[in-house]
Amino acid sequence: MKSAESDHGRLSLAAVVERLEREEFLRGSTRPRIEQIRGHRERVWECVFCERRLDGHDPQVDVMGALCERSQGAGWPPGLASGGLLADDPVLQRWGHAAAEPDAAAPMLWFEWDMPGGSPREPLASICVSNAILGDLAARRAPTEREARHRLYGEIAATLLPAGRSAGWREALARVTDALGKRSGLLHIAGLLPRGSERLRLAVWVEARTLVPWLRAIGWPGETDDLPTALFRIAPPFQRVGVQIELCPEVGPYLALETPELRSEEDGRRATRRIGELGGLAPIADDAVADFARWPGVGELVVDGEPMPVLRHAYVKLTREGRGAWSAKGYFGITTLAMTEHRVRVA
């Protein structure tokens, strides 16, 4: 039996989905599919996001949650340690119990469940390698020296890929991260095996003006001529933006650009016009634009009868393959007080 203290301040996947459905942010049969995830009501998450397509036609909604070790030393939530949600997941087990391993430096894990029409697939795991995203809440510190970073990346590749298949990816990880500028950095590495793909997806922070030179330097096979126009609609040249690429282990054609996160009501109001303009790059339904204006801000979420102060936040991700057309996804999330009571420090 779980104590109230063990659950305090954490979210369940179901609570966030139900809130977003009640606010009419989600389309399709999201809740029945969420209920097929083992432990969907376990309160283990610091942050939960729902991802939806913004074209107004595709009803698929995916859900993801973040686990982090907080600096105050709170241990694993009971729902993870007692045979519940993700109890058998190899990534979670290695990260949680191998304190002597290099990948123990990673301060956070993301798990994402794809729900394309049928039952949820096995979750995709992302291992965070940067503590900057957690600020003072990061209990584990990622290494700063180049050699130690490469060892960490290699251990993560070995964790996320089939046994004995990570050597080429280790070299690729070193090459693409060494090419990043001083104000850029690797955020997390995801393994795509649950989607039937032997690839790694990298999420990085990149100063907008340096993105095209970096993509060219690492041999990204897509068209870069129109990227400055897309970036100008997303962020100023000296602002850092979220970027995702894939390693196969060569650099693949996948590319994603993330808009700056909207965290306050004022952010939402100001961003409406900018998100609407992204419709010139990818199809975005009018009602989706309005959703970004009304969601962000500080609020309250009731979980199991307990009111919790939370942060509601959102962002847009544009994706394409090589020279293909852009598509847009929206991410609507809720984060606990434990992760919002400190300001995030950006190195």
pLDDT tens by residue, 152-203:
888 889 889 988 888 889 999 999 999 998 889 999 999 999 888 899 999 9
Going by their DSSP bridges, the two strands 327-336 and 240-247 should be labelled as unpaired
Q: Which stretches does DSSP call E strand in 179-271?
A: 185-191, 200-207, 240-247, 251-258
pLDDT attached to residue 72: 43
Q: Could you tell me if residue 223 is inside a domain? A: yes
Cα–Cα distance between 205 and 119 in angstroms, integer? Answer: 33
* CA distances from residue 285 to 28, 176, 325 in whole angstroms, order as listed: 16, 35, 16
Q: Could you tell me if residue 181 is inside a domain? A: yes
Cα–Cα distance between 170 and 151 in angstroms, integer? Answer: 9
Cα–Cα distance between 110 and 124 in angstroms, integer? Answer: 8
Q: Are 202 and 179 in contact (CB under 8 A)?
A: no
Number of domains in the chain: 1
Q: Could you tell me if residue 345 is inside a domain? A: no
In one letter, which amino acid is 299?
G
pLDDT attached to residue 92: 80
C-alpha 210 chain-centroid distance: 22
pLDDT attached to residue 71: 45
Q: Are 142 and 105 in contact (CB under 8 A)?
A: yes
Cα–Cα distance between 315 and 54 in angstroms, integer? Answer: 12
Cα–Cα distance between 180 and 214 in angstroms, integer? Answer: 7
* 172-192 CB burial, b ≥16 within 10 A, e <16: bbbebbebbeeebbbbbbbbb
pLDDT attached to residue 172: 94
For residue 249, cis peptide bond before it (omega within 30 degrees of 0):
yes
Q: Could you tell me if residue 211 is inside a domain? A: yes
Q: Containing domain of residue 83, as a range?
A: 4-340
Q: Could you tell me if residue 347 is inside a domain? A: no
C-alpha 166 chain-centroid distance: 22
Count of residues in the chain: 347
Q: Could you tell me if residue 346 is inside a domain? A: no
Other Cβ atoms less than 10 A from the Cβ of 226: the count is 12
In the predicted model, residues of the chain with pLDDT beneath 70 are 1-8, 27-29, 69-79, 81-84, 96-105, 116-120, 133, 135-141, 338, 340-347
Q: Which residues contact 57 (CB under 8 A, 6 or more apart)?
A: none
